[in-house]
Amino acid sequence: MKKYVLHRRPSEFTVDYEHELNPEQYGAVMHREGPALVLAGAGTGKTRVVTYRVARLIESGVRPENILLLTFTNKAAKEMMRRAEQLVGQNTSGLFGGTFHHIANLILRQHYILAGYRQGFSILDREDAKDLFESCIAEIFQKNAVLPRGTVLLEISSLAKNTAMDIDEVIALRFPHFMDGAEEIRKIATLYESKKRALNLMDFDDLLLLWKKVFAENDKIREYYSLKFKYILVDEYQDTNRLQSDVVDMVAGGEQNLMVVGDDAQSIYSFRGAAFENILKFPERYSSARIYTLTTNYRSTPEILHLANTIISHNRNQFRKDLHAVLPSGGLPGVAPLKDVFQEAEFAASVMIDMNADGASFDDIAVLYRSHYQSMQLQMELQRRGIPFEIRSGLKFFEQAHIKDVLSYLKVITNPFDEIAWKRILKLIKGIGNISAAKIWDAIRTAANPAEAIQEAGRHVSKKSVDGFNTFLDVIGELRAERYLTAPSAAVDHILRHGYEDHLYNTYPNAEMRIEDIEQLIRFALRYDSLEVFLSELALQGVSDPDSGETEEAEGRVILSTVHQAKGLEWSTVFILGMNDGRFPSAKSLKSDEEEEERRLFYVAATRARESLFICYPIMSEDWNGMGFLRPSRFIKELPQDSFEEIRVEVV
């Protein structure tokens, strides 16, 4: 005769939680009722705690459909649910798990009328949302206004929604370049919102905004979900924005069986709208909250953790905690002052080669930096030495659109018959597309004197493109001067300052980062006194080859990444480059109140390393006035002498 067990008494646990968890983890997992804040330090088993918490709730008799698990990727939620199923041997398919947007979509499909929509609404991806903004621009564009393109407008709109600021505040704070066009931007944003309603469309940000609206305006609906989701878990809580925090508070309702898990010391995404105050002030919003602190680190050596603890100790706004290592003792982290960025790249590459010769895989090595441009010299050095690498912070330096744009200007000066370069830069002019660019190119290639032909090709340009085309002609004309042919750095600077900088602001939300890349290219070009030699050497080094720096998969690849994109990952050996004031911390942060977040960023970088950590900084930098001195990062100066060893590099 078969027997069916419908309910398990809470005391009958299949999982031996006390044996499988350390005491800190066990305390959090076994938390009973009421709000809880789990402060999970780097490498302390945060995912394990969330997974075992889900398992423990189910084993205690909580139905899966009464649990809400909010994560920042659907993959993370599915993995946690899968592991919880394996632990308890029960199906968790009824559990509501996924990203904030995923859960919002499920709820709004049930209550679309209350959100002001019709059944079957569509969700715009970012590309479609950008296109809708572009159509709004075309409808109400004022000729004399300096307006950004759809991608930038979407970013402005998204930040306004997620930070609860109005459009004017976002423009003033993040996009001051467009202050003169603020009124037109507001009109476009208003039209964008009305078009979405009329077309039964939502963008990603609307999902959260309308979830909050439905709950705020309908008490019975909010109460229904508060009763349905008896237990709520939020992962990576330090990365939530104000809108997400508000929604969580609404869903938590009366019982407040809310557990949020995160690490205030790893809150590094304010530029995306994340609100550090959410985790910092959680105990104020939930006065009865129990705080659990995870400090047993399973990733790094005691020496690396000592340095990391010292880094973060200088922040005033934090929950203070010291990480403790499980791993045995290792070597001290190294701090290496180098002559310049070229020696910095040579040092990192040399150490990698020695490690690889001693049996270390390139896969176990990562190089982290504050901004993508800081990897330029290293990319070239790794390519030169045949060290395989993979870039996680974006495209390889010379494959990026803005770098290729600038180099295309230079190419048509040295080779006026370069069709690809001509068409690329012509299409940067507003109103010139493939057809117009092809007609202009035909005029150039059939002419005896391309320089004169480009002047006459203006007849193929529409009226709305005339001003932009004339500016383009001026730039090209200037670049043919001898002073630019013998000074590639001055040529790049001229391109940037005469129209291309405005193009970047109008086209990309991250224009400032792209300008930093080009300024780095300017510094690199200072080494050359011939435009032709400069372009030739770039090509010969293979830096534009999509396959450069890559060999067979079996060899492994060194990972190059910004610190922001490395969060949550780990490697045996980590190099941190460019640790100078104005670079890390960034110049922008030093002019504002963002220094503590920059220090958290340094902390995140250091805690990616398991066994070896190298912190590098150049002493000198070349600019228009010759060689200048760079200050070591204030974060390095804060480190006590016993937390690192200084590395002196000798040139052989």
What is the C-alpha to C-alpha distance for residues 99 and 72, in angstroms, rounded to an integer? 5
Would residue 78 show up in a list of annotated catalytic residues for this protein?
no
Residue 251's contacts (CB-CB under 8 Å, 6 or more residues apart) are 68, 215, 222, 225, 226, 229, 232
Can you give the length of the chain in residues? 652
Would residue 471 show up in a list of annotated catalytic residues for this protein?
no
The one catalytic residue among 8, 47, 90, 551: 47
Cα angle for residues 423, 428, 432 (degrees, 5° grid): 75
The one catalytic residue among 238, 266, 301, 343: 266
Measured in degrees and rounded to the nearest 5, phi and psi for residue 502 equal: -60, -40
What is the C-alpha to C-alpha distance for residues 161 and 549, in angstroms, rounded to an integer? 41
Environment class of 579 (CB within 10 Å of its CB; exposed 0-12, middle 13-18, buried 19+)? buried
Letter for the amino acid at 475? Answer: V
Residues 592/593/598/603 CA torsion (nearest 10 deg):
170
Cα angle for residues 286, 287, 288 (degrees, 5° grid): 95
Residue 602 neighbours by CB distance under 10 Å: 25
What is the C-alpha to C-alpha distance for residues 527 and 487, in angstroms, rounded to an integer? 9
* Closest among 57, 58, 46 to 21, alpha carbons compared: 46
Are 40 and 294 spatial neighbours (Cβ–Cβ below 8 Å)? yes
The one catalytic residue among 24, 25, 44, 46: 46
Would residue 46 show up in a list of annotated catalytic residues for this protein?
yes
For residue 322, what are its two tokens?
Answer: 């010291």
Measured in degrees and rounded to the nearest 5, phi and psi for residue 285 equal: -70, -30
The one catalytic residue among 24, 206, 236, 239: 236
Residue 515 neighbours by CB distance under 10 Å: 18
Are 413 and 450 spatial neighbours (Cβ–Cβ below 8 Å)? no
What is the C-alpha to C-alpha distance for residues 358 and 551, in angstroms, rounded to an integer? 20
The one catalytic residue among 59, 235, 246, 303: 235
- Identify each DSSP E strand in 79-195 by its residue range: 96-99, 122-123
* Closest among 442, 479, 435 to 461, alpha carbons compared: 435
Q: Alpha carbon 116 to chain centroid distance?
A: 33
Are 283 and 260 spatial neighbours (Cβ–Cβ below 8 Å)? no
Would residue 186 show up in a list of annotated catalytic residues for this protein?
no
Q: How far apart are the first and last CA of the chain?
A: 83
Would residue 236 show up in a list of annotated catalytic residues for this protein?
yes
8-state DSSP, 582: B
Cis peptide before 585 (omega within 30 of 0): yes
Would residue 427 show up in a list of annotated catalytic residues for this protein?
no
For residue 603, what are its two tokens?
Answer: 């902390």
The one catalytic residue among 196, 567, 608, 610: 608
8-state DSSP, 496: I
Are 238 and 275 spatial neighbours (Cβ–Cβ below 8 Å)? no
Q: Which residues are catalytic?
A: 46-47, 235-236, 266, 608
